[in-house]
Chains A and B, each alone.
Chain A
Amino acid sequence: MKSDRIAAIVGVAESDLGKTPGKNVLQLQAQAAKLALEDAGLTKNDIDAVFTAGNWAWAPNLMLAEYLGIQPKYTDSTNIGGSSFEAHVGHAVAGIKAGLFEVALITYGSTNKTNPSNSMFKSPLTAQYELPYGLPTPVGAYALAAMRHMHQFGTTSEQLAEIAVATRKWAALNEKAYMREPIAIEDVLNSRKIADPLHLLDCCLVTDGGGAVIVASSNVASKLNKKPVWILGHGESHSHNTIANMPDLTVTSAVESGKRAFEMAGISHDEIDVAEIYDSFTITVLLTLEALGFCKPGEGGAFVSGQRTAPGGDFPMNTNGGGLSYCHPGMYGIFLLIEAVRQLRGECSSRQVENAKLALVHGTGGVLSSTSTVILGGD
């Protein structure tokens, strides 16, 4: 049973990516928003809801909407780190269903590479119990999870490296990807250690970049030129803030967010044609695949072995090259949505997954803290 077609993604775009010296977070978001509107065949005046997230302003929505010259009737700045934008999509569907607005603009922008201070702020409070020990954030927290997964299930560094190698193969097919040179498993294992057991090539890039996604009601979507990408299911959750408070270092709240997204969409795992799964680190992907139920707990290592997620493999994943090789400006989730939409529209040329009809998009934020899952379907 398919869910109601209440709302669709009708426009997507990235801003300039990689290194964008001379551009600030507002410019990047404006650039992406304009391109996404063009992609949708809509104008600025059609937008009646604004969604954004970031640490670059006291109230990012106010600053962004003023900059863009938009006076929205609905706004949402839910910030659950990198998973914020999948949550925004779910919240936009809820708002459209409630009749509160018809067209929502979701944006993100960051200059993490060129000017990190533009994208960060500090708030100690409960962090006082962790900060003085010197764990580098977020990589150290993910390393703690990887170490525990290895201890509990015998997962190996080679299995984690499979993810980085496969993702780089997809990046080679995407001219917008920041890192496109092929890598082998040995390259990952021989790369500099950052925090055991994670190596440099287990870690995402640090880049600048922005993105925009436009969500519209079925009424608006059906009148546009491009085929809508329907939002079939959504779920979100968060289990902790600081890593010492994660109830089980091997189980993320994707167990909850994924379950609800699948239930709402009324589809099963084997119907998913393409998966876009937050890859801040290789371990993030492994834990997510298990929590979403694509394999059993502890079997993530076996699941990704043999380059199964690479081009030509039977589980196409992170087809833009991911946060590991394409771009990662800090809160990467919006780029997962952009790629899934392009795959379902058949716009991905050499990296196109043949006959992609259903996509799963999964964001992760904080230190495995928050998760949000969206299931999208082509027209």
Chain B
Amino acid sequence: MIKDLVQSAIDEESKPYWDGLKNEKLFIQYCDDCQQYIFYPRTICPHCFSEKIRWQESCGNGKIYSYTVVHQAFGPFKSEAPFVVGIIELDEGVRMMSRILGDKDQIAIDQEVSVVFQEVENDLVLPYFQVKEL
């Protein structure tokens, strides 16, 4: 169960992020003091230590910073292999790990991607990224 991997970690700090995904919104954070974006969710800015942080919906667009085709996976992912995991750099400048959807032989670093919301298990929605059509 993929949900088991995250469920116990969800708390007041991360709940708005996970709730956002259920409503097909990708929430990141913005610091009003240093005007920089933040991911993953925190209650204190890792750039300037300000607590003037607010949630903001990401545009959901970005590009592939790196990726790998996973051939040997573990646990609940074992049967899904091969699949593509990558680090996405959102247009806002923050990076996040995600799955990349598309022809795995065509995927390349720097390709543009946009978010899609995938219900991977009942009540667990994840942001995946789809390679944009050229």
Q: How far is the CA of A125 from the CA of B96 in the complex (A)?
A: 16
- The reply to whether B70 and A244 form a contact with Cβ atoms under 8 Å apart is no
Q: How many residues of B contact A (CB 8 A)?
A: 38
Q: Is A129 an interface residue (CB 8 A)?
A: yes
Could you tell me if A135 and B97 are in contact, using CB atoms closer than 8 angstroms?
A: yes
- Provide the residues of chain B in CB contact with A242, threshold 8 Å: 97
Verify B109–A195 contact, CB threshold 8 A: no
Supposing A128-B10, A134-B83 touch, asked if A249 and B72 sit within 8 A by C-beta, the answer is: no
Mark out the residues of chain A between 129 and 177 whose CB falls within 8 Å of any chain B CB in the assembled complex: 129-136, 140, 143-145, 147-148, 151
Nearest-Cβ distance from residue A166 to partner chain B, whole angstroms: 25
Residue among B9, B10, B65, B70 making CB contact with A140, cutoff 8 Å: B70
Neighbouring A residues of B71 by C-beta, 8 Å:
192-196
Q: Are B87 and A144 in contact (CB under 8 A)?
A: yes
B6 engages A147 (CB within 8 Å): no
Complex-state Cα separation, A355 to B87, whole angstroms: 46
- A193 to B68, alpha carbons, bound, how many Å? 11
Q: Which residues of A contact B14 (CB under 8 A)?
A: 128
CB-nearest residue of chain B to A193: B71
Determine how close the nearest CB of chain B comes to the CB of A330; give it in whole angstroms.
16
Within 8 A of A (CB), among B1-50: 2, 5-6, 8-10, 14, 39-40
B40/A129 in contact, CB under 8 A: yes
CA distance A192 to B6 in the complex (A): 30
1/0 per position for A185-202, CB-CB distance to B under 8 A?
000000011111110000
**B115 at interface by CB-CB < 8 Å:** no
Across-interface contacts of B108 in A (CB, < 8 A):
151
How far in angstroms is the closest Cβ of chain A from B17? 8
Interface residues in A222-272 (C-beta closer than 8 Å to B): 242-245, 249
A134-B73, A144-B66, A196-B69 given as contacts; is B85 within 8 A of A124 (CB)? no
- B97 near A129 with CB under 8 A, answer yes
Overall SS of chain A's interface: helix
Q: With a CB–CB cut-off of 8 A, which chain B residues contact A144?
A: 66-68, 85-87
* Given contact pairs A130-B97, A151-B109, A193-B71, A135 touches B85 in the complex (Cβ within 8 A): yes
- Kindly identify which residue among A132, A193, A197, A244 contacts B87, using a CB–CB cutoff of 8 Å: A244
User: How many chain A residues touch B (Cβ–Cβ < 8 Å)?
Assistant: 32
Q: Pick the contact of B9 from A124, A145, A192, A196 — CB < 8 Å?
A: A124
Q: Which of B6, B9, B83, B97 has the most CB of A within 10 A?
A: B97
Specify which chain A residues have a CB less than 8 angstroms from the CB of B130 in the assembled complex: none
* A128 interface neighbour in B6, B74, B87, B120, Cβ under 8 Å: B6
Q: Which of B65, B73, B126 contacts A136 (CB 8 A)?
A: B73
**Within the complex, what minimum Cβ distance (angstroms) separates A246 from chain B?**
9
Q: Which residues of A contact B86 (CB under 8 A)?
A: 144
Distance (Å) between the CB of A315 and the closest chain B CB?
28
A126 on the interface (CB 8 Å rule)? yes
B8-A136 in contact (CB<8A): no
A197 neighbours in B (Cβ, 8 Å): 68
Beyond contacts A135-B85, A194-B71: 15 other A-B pairs, Cβ-Cβ < 8 A, are: A128-B5, A129-B96, A133-B85, A134-B73, A134-B76, A134-B83, A134-B85, A144-B68, A145-B66, A148-B109, A151-B108, A193-B72, A195-B72, A198-B68, A243-B97
Which B residues have a C-beta under 8 Å from some C-beta of A? 2, 5-6, 8-10, 14, 39-40, 65-77, 80, 83, 85-87, 95-99, 108-110, 120, 124, 126
18 contacts between A and B (CB under 8 A): A124-B8, A128-B5, A129-B39, A132-B2, A133-B85, A134-B2, A134-B75, A135-B97, A140-B68, A144-B87, A148-B109, A192-B71, A193-B71, A194-B71, A194-B72, A195-B68, A244-B95, A244-B96
